[in-house]
Structure 1
């Protein structure tokens, strides 16, 4: 069971023949605490879902401690990204079998269809789970190297003029940076425009400086009006314009709008000058672009 549509599955679930259940769970509303894992994978711990964790990262770390505690002592296996300081901090107090991985310890033989170091890291985590369950190395590689990805992760939407348009769910700084670097890896010497929609006021406020940093990694970034649920965060004053202002640079690569009409006027102008356009965010931007430009694969 996964959180996105997988073309190979024809949905979000595939029913197998063995006595294993593999579930993609996350910390939103502490949903992952309702699982009973024998093996757990943690790829990172970030300041996310702050509507569920008003005290921020310390409260999130406590939730992950409870998640790790669900593993059976001595026999439980934790597979985790070893260079995440938050993971290292909370994992050290448990009597478990640890399997850490990082950029220097990728699974051998990976030749993925999906580009990017973050995908190779995630594939390594999946390979380590399969290895713990006794799956042969050649079968692990065949499955991973043939995997074509998930909808809304580097998903190709079509063309607008000469620009190739892609959609990605990335909405946190670490995800945005990983996605841009993946496109740099795949499309060498191509001009890249990132079109980003901030998601939720508190999340934007907490990540403002980092958002302004990672959005300069593209040749140009265009920021759409912020997505938020009316009545939920009315006490927070922040807008998309604040991301551009946070660069402290009058010649910034970031252009931001709080008005949809002005945003799409600029979008129409910019896409004529770029080879690759990445639509990013967890809000409604990609749907607006698909409807406005009749994008279909």
Structure 2
């Protein structure tokens, strides 16, 4: 049975409660019986989903939103020091708890699987959550994206397994003590927090060192960064590797595209096992193999878990079909790092056949664009044509000289057909003018570019 509610978190207040990570923790606490409250910048389906669970959600940030009887204030790294609710917490001497510490407390007494890596965390965590639920194991889970409805990014289950997405961006994954940890890949990202690959490796080594005695690290044998991490750990933790490499413990023998699905065959302990992955793309197939290896490390029979993985049919913003109008399909992608962009575009190319792929790309963060703008532009060369928006700043202030033009120049240098659109309101008409029946349109990025999908569909319907 799952543990009860930590006493200090029976009346929590969340600043930024609508965020992907924050809302999941709030949802689980509400389901465990906590009196949850919080604030967010704007109304959202997630806010409504939290209210349906009994949470009080204020819109906007103001000192009076924080109740005097709150037992703690939960924050993420995105909350600035001058937030009025944070200042009020200091006045009232209410403890401030980082999101990662709150999540770590929720995992106490359970068997955690923590999914880490520069890319693929949300998908792999979701695959585990769905497949373990399919097997009747009633896991708890906290995911960085919604499965099938607003607020479906987290659940308090009655089983003893807790599946969590482990965020390396601010080193918060150092707080967890998993029984099984997955490392999908290790690349340089989050440039505001990491100055070099050496710092990235050190951070992932710390994460791996948090695995409980007798636990297992599941690590990608095909990715050089992950292999380097394994070498650095040098037997200090039990490691199970997966991938297409000859020396992988769980070896991928084949990934056969079947429309928007894949058939995957692996060699596991000398026996071949074939199963279906219900989303397109080789990288998603490999994520499923990572989930399979993690489940087996936890003691779940592979022959039962493999077919259950087919129950996963996607998560919002991960190549999610938004609709079709005038013969044009609009698909939403969360990809914002060049590796993710390349993987999603290659997956769509494999599934699209002769169809054209048009991309609406919104760069995310000035620091990421400064470091990886050239590679983003090169990735866009895989599309038939692209529209590039201005940079979505999120938590960052502008950096002089860093604009979307860095990406556009690199894309054109790579032979891409690309144009800048500075006003998002103009995008639906621009895309409708470009698109022809049979085309696929991808809205791509981690910002609010996702909002353009329905608007593009509405404009296409007018053609």
Aligned residues between the structures: 292
Q: Distance in 2 between matches of 1:129 and 1:45?
A: 18
Higher mean displacement: 166-175 or 127-136: 127-136
Q: Which residue of 2 aligns with 1:96?
A: 237
Would you tell me which structure has more strand in proportion to its own residues? 2
Contact 1:202 1:233 in 2 (8 A): no
Equivalent of residue 235 in structure 1, options 395, 399, 403: 399
Equivalent of residue 47 in structure 1, options 188, 211, 227: 188
Q: Which residue of 2 aligns with 1:202?
A: 367
Larger radius of gyration: 2
Contact 2:183 2:220 in 1 (8 A): yes
Q: Which residue of 2 aligns with 1:25?
A: 166
Contact 1:239 1:258 in 2 (8 A): no
Q: Distance in 2 between matches of 1:13 and 1:263?
A: 33
Equivalent runs, 1:186-265 vs 2, <5 Å:
186-229=351-394, 232-247=396-411, 249=413, 252-260=416-424, 263-265=427-429
Contact 1:192 1:274 in 2 (8 A): no
String of CA shifts for 1:34-85, please: whole Å, max 9, x gaps. Answer: 11112110111122222332x1433222211111111245x23111111222
Equivalent of residue 66 in structure 1, options 186, 206, 221: 206
Any unmatched runs of 5+ in structure 1?
none
Q: Distance in 1 between matches of 2:274 and 2:323?
A: 31
Higher relative contact order (CA 8 A, sep 6+): 1
Cα offset, 1:264, TM superposition: 4.7
Equivalent runs, 1:166-177 vs 2, <5 Å:
166-177=331-342
Contact 1:82 1:102 in 2 (8 A): yes
Distance 1:243 1:274, change over 3 A: farther
Contact 1:202 1:236 in 2 (8 A): no
Q: TM-score scaled by structure 2?
A: 0.59
Contact 1:190 1:276 in 2 (8 A): yes
Q: TM-score scaled by structure 1?
A: 0.89
Cα offset, 1:7, TM superposition: 2.3
Higher mean displacement: 10-19 or 169-178: 10-19
String of CA shifts for 1:140-162, please: whole Å, max 9, x gaps. Answer: 12211121111111111112422
Higher mean displacement: 10-19 or 63-72: 10-19
Q: Which residue of 2 aligns with 1:277?
A: 441
